[in-house]
Amino acid sequence: MKLWILQTGLAILFFCAKAGATVRYVDVNSSAPTPPYTNWATAANAIQDAVDATTPGDTVLVTNGIYTAGGWRLGSFDVTNRVAITNGVLVQSVNGPAFTFIQGYRPASSSLTNAIRCAYLGSNAVLSGFTLTNGSAGTGNYVNGGGVATFPTSGSVISNCVLVGNYAAGAGGGGNYGKYIGCVFTRNFGQGGGAASDAILINCIITNNSAGWAGGTLGCVATNCVLANNHATNYGGASGFSTFVNCTLVLNSLQAGYGGNGGGCYHDTLFNSILYGNTAPNGSNYFSSSLAWCCTAPPPGGNGNFINTPAFINPGTGDFHLQSNSSCINAGAHTYVTIGGDLAGNPRISGGTVDVGAYEYQNPASVIAYYWLQNFNLNMDGSADFADPDQDGMTNWQEWRAGTDPRNPLSVLKLRPLSVDASAVTVTWQSVSGITYYVQRCTNLANPVFLSIKSNVVGLAGTTSYMDANAVGSGPCFYRVGVQ
């Protein structure tokens, strides 16, 4: 088994060549290209030649150069692809995207005859460490994915790649379908989805792309990504019909076209994300979108959202790390976290609670959400965390978790008197709308063992009740209520 370690620039990926697999070599300046290209002395000049010699599980290593030769067409329905990886193989550059380019071809003619896409990936193919540029998809029946195209269930991966200056007459100027890890999309154009369409995006940076609608992403699922300075003519300056988890969408724009709706998002779903500073004639940050635990304005309603300024290190230079006083620190919900690191490769949770946005601020002074501290004029240096300024028996940390007011002693999580009848015990407590609670019960306070009898109880404004129809015998029964 051979182990290849790929530095993505944002993360390190490990690919293992299968036992018995063959490594093929490609060098644009090879003086004696000879099949089957199993050493540098006989390396292929064109990437496609080496790929054609592979069997599933093989690896193709490509050294520095600009690769403009070769081509493979899937059929009359598609454009030519500079590289088509139809076997489940890994095609990897030796020194990364700064030194290794796959260049397609975009004709000057508006008909796009003879257009060439940079790459097509078949089932379980992996392409890693390239700059994919000047690719085009715009003729025939398949006009999606100017830089890269695959198909929905391929399982293909594109990692540590830069997709720049590609064009699609349809969807996905940079890429269509596939999983993109640690990639950069910039200056791509697609009629829908300037950077990518119908793709999975992890730890990606998506900037300065444009589209007729959905300037950055269309129908994608993105985690730990930054979308900045993308532009659309009609709908969704940053995105349309996509889902975002721990992403930062800022400084995207939309001009007044047919719709002019959603400078940031249009019909998107966002969790733990920053959606701020975008512009549009209608809905500067979002239009017809669902948000939870997000930093945005105006208030969208829903759980955990807040409008405080996010406070980036230097948005003018594209540095969207959080400042030490950012409202987004400790402001997210763990429910949506599926990846252990952030966009910079740092631990995704630091300080006890996940941050909002693509970057996690490391080792914060307080364990409470900073926007909450700001809203109540409390110190963010940790000194206020376990104080009890209203002397209601709940610390500020507990008040934050319970959604109560730390300045008001009457705003507190507490049980009301139980209601008991022949069939059930009704437990009632002071509650806050949108907070989720659990109810527990035990029968002995001398040696209490509380068992959960109900979870995921969504609180109402004022009070919330739960009817326990399974109270044990004639009692006694003791109850407690907590915040999930």
Task: Specify the fold of 419-483.
Answer: Immunoglobulin-like (2.60.40)
Pairing status of strand 478-483 against strand 436-442:
antiparallel
pLDDT of residue 157: 98
pLDDT of residue 139: 65
The token pair that represents 356 in the structure block: 């909002």
d(CA 242, CA 265): 8
305 secondary structure, DSSP code: -
Angstrom distances, CA of residue 377 to CA of 79, 368, 384, 406, 407: 60, 13, 10, 11, 10
d(CA 238, CA 245): 15
The token pair that represents 284 in the structure block: 């500067």
Low-confidence ranges of the chain (pLDDT < 50): 1-15
CB atoms within 10 A of CB 336: 17
Domain boundaries, the chain: 2-202, 419-483
pLDDT of residue 9: 39
pLDDT of residue 141: 63
Q: If you count them, how many residues does the chain have?
A: 484
d(CA 170, CA 172): 7
| Cα-trace Rg, the chain | 27
CB 241 within 8 A of CB 199: no
pLDDT of residue 110: 63
Residue 50: its H or E element? helix 47-52
pLDDT of residue 3: 36
Q: DSSP H helical segments within 349-484, as ranges?
A: 370-375, 396-402
